[in-house]
Chains A and B, each alone.
Chain A
Amino acid sequence: MYSNIFLKTIRDGQRSTLLFSAGQLAIGALLALLFPDVAASFAGMIEDLPEFIQAFIGTAAEFATPEGFLTADPYSAISLVIMFAFSINRGMGAIAAEEQSHTLDQLLGNPITRTHVYFQKSLALIADCVLPVAALAVGILIGALIMDYSVSLSGLFQMSLSLLLISYATGFLALSIGAATGSKSIAIGIPAAIAAIGYLIHILVPLVDSLSSLKYISILHYYIGDKPFINGITPWHALVLIGIAVVPFIIGLYRFNGRDLRG
């Protein structure tokens, strides 16, 4: 497990990755188990709610389907927040945490380049995010199987892909900011703020008409704005999320190679 930086990074985060994944699996299964009862109870209630609230949580018709129900929770709520926390923490840990704990000097005292470290840490981030996202989907499938209803596999895959992409966006923001600055607090703070503000805008936009154009500055719009579980992933939304990961990745690499490392 210690034959390269990628494997060591995966190994270092193994326990936490498994715990996060177990949590996602349990959340997915629990919500899938609850769907038949909760959907029946809420369907009538949602019909009586104002349209703008339906726009936010989903219409009664959508809520009555597993895809619509699961889009609202866990994918718009708890599991998304968990993935934000997971990916930002991993991104921050890649370079900034190693630098602030004074092990980066020792690592780079070996015959490897900063670019090599950066790429290996990035690959580990890419791999790390897959398991909790997949566990959530598996949990949903288990719950649906137990309660004997079907879930669109294509929708679940595309929703999972979208969750993975937004996790990469926030994770790579943290990684690249950490690499560019060497600061753990900045590496956590900026992506967390982007996620939180995006979340707030995503909640407010359906409620306030005048804010509708703001939805484009919310990272969540590109994640779930077009409801990938129901309608499939929108290619350009996926591209925006990839861009949010790739552009900082390139800038972070450039800055990491050019700056002084903290002693």
Chain B
Amino acid sequence: MQSSGNPVIKLENLTKHYGEIVGIQDLSLEVTEGEVFGLLGPNGAGKTTTIRLILDFIRPTSGKAAVFGLSPRSDGTDIRRRVGYLPGDFVTYDHMTGATVTEYFTHLRGADPVKLVALCERYKLDLSRKIGQLSKGNKQKIGLVQAFMNDPDLLILDEPTAGLDPLLQYEFQKMIHEEKAQGKTIFMSSHVMSEVEATCDRVGIIREGKLVTIDTVSHLTELSLWTAKITFTQPVPYDTFNNLPGITVTDKTDDRTYNLSISGEGSMDTLIKSASKHPIQTFESQHASLEDAFLKYYSGEEAEE
């Protein structure tokens, strides 16, 4: 199902300061109905702050947030009635069993846990055990189950696959695709690039509280484009590539072997034309991953360009 264009989450110049410390600064974004949106950033970048502002756990210094067109502050219960939320570093009541935790949240939400049984089967989750006896991965499964079990319209997931093994991470990705197919909107933060690449329609990269870029996953990876490794049969001067627009020498093993990246206004055509003036022994190139794009934005390269 394609997104319908109705904004489910709308943040306008949202700013949160903790005294002198900037949590997030002038963050604006829209997540539309049916969209899977990933917020990427290193620890402390402001991902969890953004989520906690959306859910009214903390209040903005300035700017505003709207979810389903409602204010988190004044219409919080109406918003959260339609939201499944997984907190980061999910912890819950250690003395309770998985069954009593899900029973408790079912009552608080006043909604049937229509997906509970299927989710437990999917994640092979034993709800009879006390939470305190579970491994981190199994606790995270409880967190995912409680977030999805009432079939909410919007899922807000903070680092959803933390602690899950690769098989379960894959299962989670499948589940996101299924939710999207049902028209659900998903807003998630993540460190796992492959997961974001596999699940998200659009990504916002956040650094030091500021949204560095926001784009589709495919466009972001296209922007960072390609990396190339060229080995020549004889030494080649550094200036051959150094002054080419959008092409950066990332590593030079010796005068014969160059590692290069192509981004922005650079093009493979320019690179090949310049390189072909010299006798080439080998030429390898590969498409950059979202991780490369993320690292590029995180290191500040793109912001400074």
Contacts and interface: CB of A to CB of B under 8 A. Distances in A.
Contacts of B177: none
B239 to A, nearest CB: 51
Contact of B107 (A3, A101, A109, A261): A3
B55 A109 contact: yes
B57 A105 contact: yes
Question: Chain A interface residue count: which class?
Answer: 20 to 34
Interface in A20-39: none
Interface string A224-263: 0000000000000000000000000000000000101101
B105 A102 contact: no
Contact of A110 (B80, B90, B91, B95): B80
Contacts of B258: none
A229 to B, nearest CB: 38
B248 interface: no
B256 interface: no
A17 to B, nearest CB: 15
B107 A263 contact: no
Interface string A92-127: 000000000111011111111100000000000000
B13 interface: no
Interface in B176-205: none
A12 interface: yes
Contact of A106 (B92, B100, B109): B92
A102 B56 CA distance: 15
Interface string B32-63: 00000000000000001000100111110000
A3 B100 CA distance: 10
A113 to B, nearest CB: 6
A108 B58 CA distance: 12
B81 interface: yes
Contacts of B109: 110-111
A213 interface: no
A106 B90 CA distance: 8
Interface in B76-129: 76-78, 80-81, 83, 85, 87, 89-93, 95-96, 100, 103-105, 107-110
Contacts of B78: 111
Contacts of A106: 85, 87, 90-92
A103 B89 contact: no
B57 A112 contact: no
Given A2-B100, A105-B57, A112 B91 contact: no
A176 B40 CA distance: 38
Interface residues of chain A: helix, strand, loop or mixed (majority): loop
A221 interface: no
A106 B108 CA distance: 11
Contacts of B89: 102
Nearest to B143: A106
A85 B290 CA distance: 55
B91 A111 contact: no
Given A2-B104, A103-B91, A110-B105, A263 B77 contact: no
Interface string B196-225: 000000000000000000000000000000
A260 B59 contact: yes
A210 interface: no
Interface string B131-142: 000000000000
A117 to B, nearest CB: 10
A103 B77 contact: no
A168 B271 CA distance: 78
Contacts of B81: 111
Given A2-B100, A2-B103, A105 B76 contact: no
Nearest to B59: A260
B80 A111 contact: yes
Contacts of A261: 52, 57-58
A8 interface: yes
A262 to B, nearest CB: 9
A105 B52 contact: yes
Nearest to B105: A110
Contacts of A101: 91
Contact of A102 (B87, B103, B110): B87
A111 B77 contact: yes
Nearest to B96: A2
A4 B57 contact: no
Interface string B12-36: 0000000000000000000000000
Nearest to B77: A111
A109 B93 CA distance: 15
Contacts of B93: 12, 103
B104 A260 contact: no
Given A111-B78, A111-B81, A105 B87 contact: yes
B164 to A, nearest CB: 18
The 6 closest A-B pairs by CB, nearest first: A109-B85, A111-B81, A260-B58, A110-B108, A2-B104, A111-B80
Given A12-B93, A111-B81, 7 more contacts: A103-B93, A106-B90, A106-B92, A107-B108, A110-B105, A111-B108, A263-B48
11 contacts: A102-B89, A105-B87, A106-B91, A109-B80, A110-B80, A112-B77, A112-B80, A113-B76, A260-B57, A263-B52, A263-B57
